[in-house]
Amino acid sequence: MTGTAVGAGGQGAKPASTDAPLLSLDEVHTYYGNIHALKGVSLEVHRGEIVTLIGSNGAGKTTTLKTISGLLHPRSGSVTFDGDDVSRVAAHRLVARGLGHVPEGRRIFSRLSVVENLQMGAYTIRSKSEQSEGMERVYTLFPRLRERRTQSGGSLSGGEQQMLAIGRALMSRPRVLLLDEPSLGLSPILVQQIFQIIADINHQGTTILLVEQNALQALSVAHRGYVLQTGQVTLADTAAGLAANPDVRRAYLGEI
């Protein structure tokens, strides 16, 4: 499954950009000890895009996001964000620079209230008015969180916890939002709601890099995508091009 192509994206194709990408990986090799997890991954995300990474379990999708967000550092290759090489920058400093990360499994603070979880997400924002504006933005996107604002994170449903994890990341006012498996464990109705909100966040100006096992859902909101297999990019295309690709349809969309 190799090659590149051009077509219309899931949200309607964005014109090809001549600007430098906001986020890029160039021949990134990442290891867990002696395990070679990413084997020369290169990709680009331009301002205003939703780009999705699809692939089977163990393909390297989560490792890619962790390498971008500074939770892991590449052994070779580079991660560039807004023109700067951030390959060795610590995760908390990348948050301050404008990278938000919603990890797989949500990882909320279960003993803290909804409000306290959101406040934790705003630790890089000094202005109280900006924190208040961020809180109101989250409550507008996720009205359920306003209703549950005094409840502990651990008492929320799975869908509400996913909303809280996304909301917490948005509190830092990210320019790029990394989303890892936002639909994991959710009912079909909640999946639809979450992906509509992802599209809304993008329409509000946040660039998104999305990892998602539900390839059909991911391609429905993305502009472009990359297929990862065993730590390597094997295909890059627009969302519509990937959705129409027979190999992708067989491998990831459940077609025989």
| Structure-model confidence comparison of residues 89 and 135, the more confident one | 89
**Is pLDDT above 90 for 170?**
yes
Residue 229, in any domain of the structure:
no
**Position 8 confidence tier, pLDDT thresholds 50, 70, 90:** very low
Domain count, the chain: 1
| pLDDT on residue 239 | 96
| pLDDT on residue 155 | 87
Residue 137, in any domain of the structure:
yes
CB of 217 closer than 8 Å to CB of 183: yes
Structural domain of 79: 23-221+234-246
| pLDDT on residue 6 | 33
Residue 81, in any domain of the structure:
yes
pTM metric for this prediction: 0.88
**Position 46 confidence tier, pLDDT thresholds 50, 70, 90:** very high
**Is pLDDT above 70 for 62?**
yes
CA distance 122 to 134: 8
pLDDT tens string 72-102:
999 999 999 999 999 999 999 999 999 999 9
| pLDDT on residue 123 | 80
DSSP 8-state symbol, 222: -
**Is pLDDT above 70 for 145?**
yes
* Helix, strand or coil, per DSSP, at residue 185: coil
| pLDDT on residue 51 | 98
Full strand arrangement of the beta sheet holding 84-85: 35-45, 23-32, 76-81, 84-85
| Pick from 28, 215, 37, 202: nearest CA to 225 | 215
Residue 203, in any domain of the structure:
yes
CA distance 176 to 50: 10
Residue 106, in any domain of the structure:
yes
Residue 67, in any domain of the structure:
yes
| pLDDT on residue 9 | 46
| pLDDT on residue 5 | 40
pLDDT tens string 97-124:
999 999 887 788 888 999 999 988 888 8
CA distance 92 to 154: 24
**Is pLDDT above 60 for 18?**
no
Percentage of the residues of the chain whose pLDDT score is greater than 70: 92
| pLDDT on residue 241 | 95
Most confident of 13-17, 186-190, 221-225, 252-256: 221-225
Residue 233, beta-bridge partner list: 228
Amino acid at 59: A
**Is pLDDT above 80 for 140?**
yes
Residue 80, beta-bridge partner list: 24, 85
Mean pLDDT score across all residues of the chain: 88
Residue 226, in any domain of the structure:
no
Residue 12, in any domain of the structure:
no
CA distance 144 to 10: 28
**Is pLDDT above 90 for 4?**
no
| pLDDT on residue 84 | 96
- Residue 140 belongs to domain with CATH number: 3.40.50.300
Residue 7, beta-bridge partner list: none
Our CA dihedral for 175, 205, 211, 239, rounded to 10 degrees, sits at -140
| Pick from 40, 24, 32: nearest CA to 85 | 24
CA distance 146 to 141: 10
